[in-house]
């Protein structure tokens, strides 16, 4: 069925405060330098649930449960109910509250969003606030919108400020909220710890700006986000294609799903850039790396904050002339492996360990600033293996999970498909570039939708 013009009508807005006040000694929460360097943006996520009941009173009860359980879980996540004070680099934790909205989706059933006619920019209406509504004195650090479809399905849109949290932190919060809502026995006890500044004390470092550059009000590029789905079979075929070019069909490194899909896009984007400018340009490729499972000793998985760094790959203009798929897969794989090895010593090396993260950030920003604009920057981030499809509020697991349209050019967010075998890649590009990329032979060959 063709996608209808979806309309989202907001019915109510309110602030949800923690069920118990935040203790006075926790009122001023200092952010870490990894928080300082994070993008000036919200991390968006939307969870979609089918209607498992036709009773109107059940729907009312579900909405009441969501609100009540949110208030109950917020004392564990007390910084999220505060407000960021940019001048002081701290969170004012006086229980100002989480923004909470209820909405009705008109002219659209949930199943229509799951079809090929879906346009990511439509999904932004399911989010509670704009992606760049952050860092202001009144901007909530956590915003939620519960949208009900005409079919009875539900979408829970969440925006969490990158100034205090990464995608893994958002996953921890959602799991804890769902557990509090469902009251089901035997679930994992989620015990969040806001301790990023303990590991990485603040340093008044510059933040990362991801907004689209303005060009004196003229010729502002239109950025499109599109979803590319690689199922498990497609991933296997990409791996086989890469191994065909390896000696004896083997390699000393295991290619992950994320590395394979990243390499596929890098090869296509380098070719696209070469065609656009009539020559090969130097490229800078970044991939976010989760620190939690890579340090020694490991940072606990429910540590909240920004526990991530950049893996950086530099691709010289000569190297970008005719890159093969194996070469681009190895390019990103080598960068991630090197960064993972560096991360292992971060906590045992004192100041030198902290500089591993800071230097990576400075390397990226300095290269971009000194390039004079003549640099092809490609950014990847992966939310794969986060337990987002396990977020069950008591009426079943989500049928689908998505980010939204993120207007940051040459950026890609990767997520698991529901079965866990494939990858959904949400790529943002200039409108003309997106049209060209969608004609790329490998992209069209391996994408399922």
pLDDT tens for each residue of 231-267 = 999 999 999 999 887 766 556 678 999 999 999 999 9
> Mean pLDDT in the chain?
90
Percent of the chain with pLDDT over 70: 93
pLDDT at 104 over 90: yes
pLDDT tens-digit map of 337-366: 999 999 998 998 877 888 989 988 888 888
* Structural domains of the chain, with CATH: 7-199 (3.30.559.10), 223-387+399-446 (3.30.559.10)
* 440 three-state secondary structure: coil
Q: Is the CB of residue 426 less than 8 Å from the CB of residue 240?
A: no
Cis preceding linkage at 297, omega within 30: yes
Q: What is the pLDDT of residue 351?
A: 79
pLDDT at 275 over 80: yes
Q: What is the pLDDT of residue 214?
A: 43
Q: Per-residue pLDDT averaged across 195-221, rounded?
A: 71
Q: What is the pLDDT of residue 323?
A: 83
**pTM of the shown model:** 0.94
Helices (H), 154-256: 167-182, 196-199, 232-244
Q: Is the CB of residue 404 less than 8 Å from the CB of residue 127?
A: yes
Residues 6+ apart with CB under 8 A from 178: 391, 392, 393, 394
Q: Is the CB of residue 409 less than 8 Å from the CB of residue 212?
A: yes
Of these residues, 95, 139, 162, 416, which one is catalytic? 162
Q: Per-residue pLDDT averaged across 185-200, rounded?
A: 88
Q: Per-residue pLDDT averaged across 48-75, rounded?
A: 86
* 162 annotated active-site: yes
pLDDT at 211 over 60: no
Cα distances (Å, whole numbers) of residue 291 to 41, 77, 199, 342, 385: 20, 21, 11, 10, 14
Percent of the chain with pLDDT over 90: 73
pLDDT at 1 over 70: no
Of these residues, 334, 392, 421, 442, which one is catalytic? 392
Question: Taking phi first (over 0 means left), then psi (-120 to 50 degrees means alpha), and beta for anything else, what does residue 217 get?
Answer: left
Q: What is the pLDDT of residue 55?
A: 55
Q: What is the pLDDT of residue 412?
A: 97
* DSSP 8-state symbol, 52: -
pLDDT tens-digit map of 402-431: 999 998 899 999 999 999 999 999 999 999
Q: What is the dihedral of CA 209, 133, 311, 171, to 10 degrees?
A: 170
pLDDT band at 212 (very low <50, low <70, confident <90, very high): very low
pLDDT tens-digit map of 300-331: 999 999 999 999 999 998 888 878 999 999 99
Q: What is the pLDDT of residue 134?
A: 94
């Amino acid at each position: 069925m063709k996608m209808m013009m979806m309309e989202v009508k907001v019915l109510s807005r309110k602030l949800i405060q923690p069920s118990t006040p935040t203790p006075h000694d926790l009122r001023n929460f200092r952010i870490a330098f990894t928080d300082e360097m994070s993008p000036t943006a919200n991390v968006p996520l939307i969870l979609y649930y089918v209607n498992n009941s036709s009773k109107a009173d059940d729907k009312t009860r579900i909405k009441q449960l969501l609100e009540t359980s949110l208030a109950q879980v917020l004392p564990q996540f007390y910084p999220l109910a505060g407000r960021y004070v940019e001048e002081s680099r701290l969170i004012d934790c006086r229980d100002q509250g989480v923004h909470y909205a209820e909405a009705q989706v008109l002219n659209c059933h949930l199943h229509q969003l799951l079809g090929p006619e879906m346009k990511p920019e439509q999904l932004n209406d399911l989010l509670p606030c704009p992606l760049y509504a952050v860092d202001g004195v009144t901007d909530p650090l956590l915003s939620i919108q519960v949208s009900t479809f005409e079919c009875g399905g539900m979408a829970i849109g969440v925006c969490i400020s990158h100034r205090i949290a990464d995608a893994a932190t958002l996953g921890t919060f959602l799991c804890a909220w769902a557990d509090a809502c469902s009251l089901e026995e035997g679930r994992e006890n989620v015990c969040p710890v806001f301790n990023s500044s303990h590991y990485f004390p603040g340093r008044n470092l510059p933040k990362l700006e991801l907004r689209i550059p303005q060009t004196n009000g003229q010729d502002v590029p239109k950025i499109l986000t599109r979803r590319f789905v690689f199922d498990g079979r497609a991933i296997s075929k990409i791996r086989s294609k890469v191994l065909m070019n390896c000696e004896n069909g083997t390699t000393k490194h295991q290619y992950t799903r994320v590395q394979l899909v990243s390499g596929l896009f890098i090869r296509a984007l380098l070719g696209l850039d070469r065609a656009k400018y009539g020559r090969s340009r130097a490229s800078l490729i970044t991939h976010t790396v989760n620190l939690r499972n890579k340090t020694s000793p490991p940072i606990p998985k429910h540590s909240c904050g920004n526990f991530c760094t950049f893996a950086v790959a530099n691709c010289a203009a000569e190297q970008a002339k005719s890159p093969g798929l194996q070469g681009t897969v190895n390019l990103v794989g080598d960068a991630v492996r090197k960064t993972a090895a560096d991360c292992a010593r971060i906590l045992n090396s004192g100041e030198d360990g902290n500089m591993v993260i800071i230097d990576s950030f400075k390397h990226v920003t300095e290269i971009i600033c000194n390039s004079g604009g003549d640099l092809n920057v490609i950014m990847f981030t992966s939310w794969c293996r986060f337990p987002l499809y396990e977020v069950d509020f008591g009426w079943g697991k989500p049928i689908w999970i998505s980010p939204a349209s993120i207007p940051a050019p040459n950026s890609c967010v990767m997520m698991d498909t529901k079965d866990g075998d494939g990858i959904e890649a949400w790529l943002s590009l200039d409108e003309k570039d997106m049209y060209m990329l969608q004609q790329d032979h490998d992209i069209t060959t391996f994408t399922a939708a």
